[in-house]
């Protein structure tokens, strides 16, 4: 990890208090109904899975990401199966009327169930004065296999049902590496103080640089609240602070580090090594300049799988999305519209929802030397750019708080 020099935890603009109560932030997303409906669904749980049955393959990623050129597959709600796109019903009354099929040569398709354990697709139709037929495909996982139950009901003929098993694809056989037990990392962009005793006024006996590993020896019982003060910590030409600060809550941890032993505030430690902004983004370049060499690459972490999706052939070229899954659980998506617009989304697993605010704060500190034009901070997302036509960064917390996304836009019109 690169070494960072700075004033220690005080340089974060932190306010510290002891507290016996936990503060909960209500995560009010700007696109409320869309995101909430996707929370904890079957499509989200199995988004990066791939299955085989005989000579056929079923990629949940491809089935979800094909449906929108510019949107990603981070919050899938639609599913493409056997060339048909299934979408959740929007209007309950309209959906009920459609299922009656009281018309000639009419049909419908819908994604009718997307719960954590079950995905159900339904397609119905009536021929030219012919009988009504309704086909459902129900997916669930059983004993490590994906089970597909297909039921077809034809009016006046009855119902037939078939069952098909899909096995995990060998291309997804490599597992994400768990974090070493007892090992934690500094998740603080500036040096993090190690103290002689579990108190904020105790002697500083060392400092941890961002990414440094420590071994946890003991965890304290008294919790502190430490405020990340965004409003006073960052400036911009056009600021908007719907959330001016965020309170981290946690005890001190006794740790062993390179310089000996000491106590560190747990709110600024993470079980996983932090995502390395400096090596991935390098330094943002002006829109008219070529991108720095090695940008958007991860050479220090093992690549487990890659999937390239051709979305649409345009006159200028092919619109594509490329997904890469890494051994630390990070997934990186590159998208290109086939002409000149492109973007990168980094999906990062979180040990706890608090880490979203810590990582977002770290990213802003990494970017702040460039000078922000627009900076907006909301309870569920952060936005920053450097000029009206420049690159932009958005951080976003997943609805269930288990991961976050860093969306990068390449700039331009």
Can you spell out the DSSP letters for 337-357?
A: -SSS-EEEEEEEE-SSTHHHH
d(CA 46, CA 49): 5
Total tally of structural domains belonging to the chain:
1
Q: Does residue 10 sit within a domain?
A: no
Collapsing DSSP to helix, strand or coil, 62 comes out as: helix
Q: Does residue 368 sit within a domain?
A: yes
Q: Does residue 392 sit within a domain?
A: yes
| pLDDT, position 37 | 38
- Closest by CA position to 385, among listed 256, 218, 272, 237: 237
| pLDDT, position 286 | 56
d(CA 171, CA 251): 42
Domain that holds residue 396: 282-409
Q: Does residue 331 sit within a domain?
A: yes
| pLDDT, position 313 | 81
pTM, 2 dp: 0.83
Per-residue pLDDT of the chain (413 residues; tens, 9 = 90+): 343 433 333 334 444 433 332 222 222 223 333 333 344 899 999 999 999 999 999 999 988 886 666 667 888 889 999 989 999 998 888 888 888 887 777 889 999 999 999 999 999 988 776 788 999 999 999 999 999 999 999 988 899 999 999 999 998 877 778 878 889 999 999 999 999 999 999 999 999 999 999 999 998 888 899 999 999 999 999 999 999 999 999 999 999 999 899 999 999 999 999 999 888 987 655 556 666 677 888 988 999 999 998 888 877 788 889 999 999 999 999 988 888 788 899 999 998 889 999 999 999 999 999 999 999 999 999 999 998 888 899 999 988 889 999 999 886 55
d(CA 307, CA 48): 9
Q: Does residue 20 sit within a domain?
A: no
- Phi then psi for residue 179, to 5 deg, are -70, 140
Q: What count of other Cβ atoms lies within 10 Å of the Cβ of residue 367?
A: 21
| pLDDT, position 96 | 86
| pLDDT, position 175 | 74
Q: Does residue 149 sit within a domain?
A: no
d(CA 123, CA 36): 25
- Closest by CA position to 206, among listed 407, 9, 52, 404: 9
| pLDDT, position 60 | 93
Antiparallel, parallel or unpaired: β 342-349 and 372-377 = unpaired
| pLDDT, position 18 | 38
Q: How far is CA 115 from CA 46, 118, 147, 213, in A?
A: 12, 5, 15, 38
- Phi then psi for residue 232, to 5 deg, are -90, -15
What would the pLDDT profile of 8-59 be if each residue is shown by its tens digit?
333 344 444 333 322 222 222 233 333 333 448 999 999 999 999 999 999 9
> 345 pairs with which residues across the strands?
333, 407
Q: Does residue 377 sit within a domain?
A: yes
| pLDDT, position 412 | 58
Q: Does residue 69 sit within a domain?
A: no
| pLDDT, position 406 | 96
């Amino acid at each position: 990890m690169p070494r960072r020099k700075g004033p220690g935890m005080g340089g974060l603009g932190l306010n510290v208090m002891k507290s016996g109560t936990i503060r909960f932030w209500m995560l009010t997303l700007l696109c409320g109904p869309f995101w909430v409906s996707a929370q904890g669904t079957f499509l989200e749980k199995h988004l990066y899975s791939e299955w085989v049955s005989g000579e056929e393959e079923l990629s949940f990623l491809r089935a979800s990401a094909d449906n929108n050129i510019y949107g990603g597959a981070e919050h899938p709600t639609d599913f493409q199966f056997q060339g048909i796109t299934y979408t959740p019903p929007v209007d309950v009354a309209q959906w009920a009327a459609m299922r009656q099929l009281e018309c000639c040569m009419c049909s419908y398709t819908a994604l009718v169930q997307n719960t954590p354990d079950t995905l159900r697709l339904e397609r119905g139709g009536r021929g030219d004065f012919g009988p009504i037929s309704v086909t459902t495909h129900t997916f669930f996982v059983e004993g490590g296999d994906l089970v597909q139950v297909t039921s077809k009901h034809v009016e006046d003929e009855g119902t037939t049902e078939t069952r098909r098993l899909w096995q995990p694809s060998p291309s997804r056989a490599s597992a994400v590496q768990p974090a070493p037990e007892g090992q934690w990392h500094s998740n603080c962009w500036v040096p993090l103080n190690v103290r002689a005793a579990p108190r904020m006024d105790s002697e500083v006996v060392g400092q941890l640089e961002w990414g440094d590993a420590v071994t946890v020896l003991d965890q304290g019982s008294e919790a502190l609240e430490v405020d990340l003060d965004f409003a006073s910590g960052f400036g911009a030409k056009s600021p908007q602070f719907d959330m001016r600060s965020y309170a981290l809550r946690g005890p001190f941890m006794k740790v062993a580090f390179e310089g000996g032993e000491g106590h560190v505030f747990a709110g600024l430690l993470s079980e996983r090594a932090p995502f390395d902004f400096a090596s991935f983004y390098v330094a943002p370049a002006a829109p008219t300049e070529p991108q720095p060499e090695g940008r958007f690459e991860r050479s220090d972490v093992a690549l487990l799988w890659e999937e390239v999706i051709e979305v649409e052939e345009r006159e200028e070229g092919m619109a594509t999305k490329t997904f890469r899954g890494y051994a630390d659980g990070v997934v990186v998506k590159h998208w290109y519209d086939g002409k000149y617009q492109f973007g990168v989304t980094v999906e990062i697993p979180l040990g706890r929802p608090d880490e979203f605010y810590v990582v977002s704060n770290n990213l802003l500190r990494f970017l702040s030397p460039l000078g922000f034009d627009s900076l907006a901070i909301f309870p569920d997302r952060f936005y920053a750019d450097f000029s009206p036509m420049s690159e932009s960064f958005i951080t976003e917390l997943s609805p269930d708080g288990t991961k976050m996304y860093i969306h990068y836009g390449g700039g331009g019109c």
